[in-house]
């Protein structure tokens, strides 16, 4: 990561701002632009939405090397190296999350959604930028940096296969992937705590709390768009997840956190790996 962060260019509209973030390759630049543009939107310095189209893939730094998910090392908590590797992987997810939030803003700007939609996703982008910074700070305190280790190349795939329909995007990204984070983060927090790494445990605790409103925004806008199209939300979610998500949803679910996000079990329980019918003989 370079120490030279360019000044954030003024943007005439929110979709231009989103594209500037997506087209920035250095993580520190994505973070600074995200904070700046989210504040511009919240403070009324950017008021127009515009119609700039996002790139097919966001720009990324030369490092980390991206590898297929199956090549990722197992992460162990008993060594600093293992914990750094885990936090590096989460930092990679947060960097993707910054781009996913801005892609949501720009790609679906033509849907005629109310300003609340843009408030929500610019707010999510600012949160994800802060999450990345918290994790980058941890890596630095432990003698590492984002880019030092290989990272998972599958994360943008959910965006690529849902770029044609906002309902598919909301179903797969906030309502599958981010919701999955609500399920898995408590165990990671516990393992960091058991390993005596309070620094990581506290960062992940702060992040986990802020992810609940992201899932809530996903559910809210999914239901909003379904209502606008006269579609029943739960069966529509089931259809999109079955058609486009590889694999089943993994139980157990963090039902309380999901419920706090307004995410009813009727959405996800029927898609659970545990809800498979018994094989017939
Ligand atoms: Fe996040
Ligand atoms: Fe998030």
First to last CA, the chain: 57
Pairing of strands 151-152, 66-67: parallel
The label of the residue with tokens 């768009």 reads 225
SS3 for 24? coil
pLDDT band at 253 (very low <50, low <70, confident <90, very high): very high
Ligand number, closest to the Cα atom of 134: 1
The Å distance, Cα 89 to ligand 2 centre, comes to 15
Ligand number, closest to the Cα atom of 120: 2
pLDDT above 50 for 259: yes
H-run or E-run covering 13: none
pLDDT digits (tens, 9 = 90+) for 144-158: 999 999 998 778 899
Higher-confidence residue: 31 or 154? 31
d(CA 154, CA 198): 30
Ligand number, closest to the Cα atom of 128: 1
Ligand number, closest to the Cα atom of 207: 1
Higher-confidence residue: 179 or 274? 179
The Å distance, Cα 279 to ligand 1 centre, comes to 38
d(CA 160, CA 231): 24
The Å distance, Cα 281 to ligand 1 centre, comes to 45
The Å distance, Cα 158 to ligand 2 centre, comes to 14
**Mean pLDDT of the region 174-186:** 96
The Å distance, Cα 208 to ligand 1 centre, comes to 8
Q: What is the mean pLDDT of the chain?
A: 93
Higher-confidence residue: 70 or 47? 47
Is residue 88 within 8 Å of 151, Cβ to Cβ? Answer: yes
The Å distance, Cα 218 to ligand 2 centre, comes to 10
Q: So what's the pLDDT on residue 274?
A: 54
pLDDT band at 1 (very low <50, low <70, confident <90, very high): very low
Higher-confidence residue: 254 or 6? 254
Ligand number, closest to the Cα atom of 185: 1
Is residue 71 within 8 Å of 150, Cβ to Cβ? Answer: yes
The Å distance, Cα 266 to ligand 2 centre, comes to 22
The strand ranges marked E within the chain are 66-67, 151-152
Phi–psi pair at 199, nearest 5 degrees = -55, -55
Q: So what's the pLDDT on residue 278?
A: 45
pLDDT above 70 for 281: no
Reference 239, options 267, 269, 260, 215; nearest CA is: 267
The Å distance, Cα 48 to ligand 1 centre, comes to 26
Q: So what's the pLDDT on residue 247?
A: 74
The Å distance, Cα 97 to ligand 2 centre, comes to 6
């Amino acid at each position: 990561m370079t120490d030279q962060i360019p000044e954030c260019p003024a943007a005439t509209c929110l979709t231009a701002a989103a594209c500037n973030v997506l087209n920035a390759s250095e993580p520190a630049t994505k973070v600074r632009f995200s904070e700046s543009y989210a504040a511009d939107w919240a403070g009324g310095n950017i008021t127009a939405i515009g119609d700039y189209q996002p790139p097919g893939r966001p720009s990324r730094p030369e490092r980390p090397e991206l590898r297929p998910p199956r090549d990722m090392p197992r992460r162990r908590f008993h060594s600093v190296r293992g914990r750094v590797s885990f936090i590096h992987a989460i930092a990679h997810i947060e960097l993707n999350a910054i781009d996913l939030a801005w892609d949501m803003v720009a790609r679906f700007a033509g849907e005629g959604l109310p300003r609340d939609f843009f408030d929500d996703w610019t707010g999510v982008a600012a949160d994800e930028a802060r999450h990345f910074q918290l994790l980058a700070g941890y890596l630095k305190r432990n003698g590492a940096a984002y880019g030092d280790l290989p990272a998972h190349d599958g994360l943008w795939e959910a965006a690529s296969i849902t770029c044609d329909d906002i309902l598919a995007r909301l179903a797969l990204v906030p309502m599958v992937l981010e919701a999955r984070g609500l399920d898995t983060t408590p165990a990671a927090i516990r393992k960091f705590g058991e390993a005596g790494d309070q620094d990581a445990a506290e960062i992940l605790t702060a992040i986990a709390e802020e992810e609940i409103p992201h899932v809530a925004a996903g559910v809210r806008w999914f239901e909003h768009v379904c209502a606008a199209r006269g579609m029943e939300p739960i069966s529509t979610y089931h259809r999109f997840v079955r058609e486009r998500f590889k694999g089943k949803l993994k139980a157990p679910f963090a039902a309380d956190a999901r419920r706090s996000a307004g995410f009813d079990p009727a959405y996800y329980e029927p898609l659970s790996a545990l809800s498979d019918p018994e094989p017939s003989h």
